[in-house]
Amino acid sequence: MTTDTIDGVTVTTQANVYFDGKCVSHGITLADGTKKSVGVILPSTLTFTTGAPEVMECVGGACEWRMAGTESWTRSSAGERFSVPANARFDIRVTEPYHYICHFG
C-alpha cells in the first residue's frame, strides 16, 4: 500500500538538494518526534551513504537499487519498500522521477 498523505507533521521548508539537484527532499517531523524525509530523485544513478537505518518507500515512479559491493539490481515500484542498514552505502538508478518517503531508524 502506498502512503498518500502524512497527517500532523512539521515540515522543514528549506529543501535538501543533493547531487546538483537530482535529489530534492524536505524533512518532516511527526508529533511523536519521528523524523522522515519526502522527496524525488530525477533520472540518474546516485550513491547514498546512511548514518541511521533507512526504509525507502516508493510512492510514485520506480527505481532500481543495490547495496555497495553487490552486482545485482532490485526494482522498487510504487507501494514497495526496501531497507538499508546504518553506516552503509547503496546505489540507486532512476529512469523516471522516483517519489519517496525515507523512514529513518
Classify 54 as helix, strand or coil.
strand
> Is residue 4 a part of any domain in this protein?
no
Is 5 part of any domain?
no
Model pTM? 0.93
Percentage, residues of the chain above pLDDT 90: 94
User: Is 75 domain-assigned?
Assistant: yes
pLDDT of 1 higher than 80: no
89 assigned to some structural domain: yes
How many domains, the chain? 1
The answer as to whether 86 is a domain residue is yes
33 assigned to some structural domain: yes
Residue 43 lies in a domain: yes
Range of the domain at 100: 16-104
List, for residues 36-45, the tens digit of each pLDDT value.
999 999 999 9
pLDDT(104) > 90: yes
Contacts of 39 (CB under 8 A, 6+ apart): 16, 23, 24, 25, 26, 99, 100, 102
CATH of residue 85's domain is 2.60.120.10
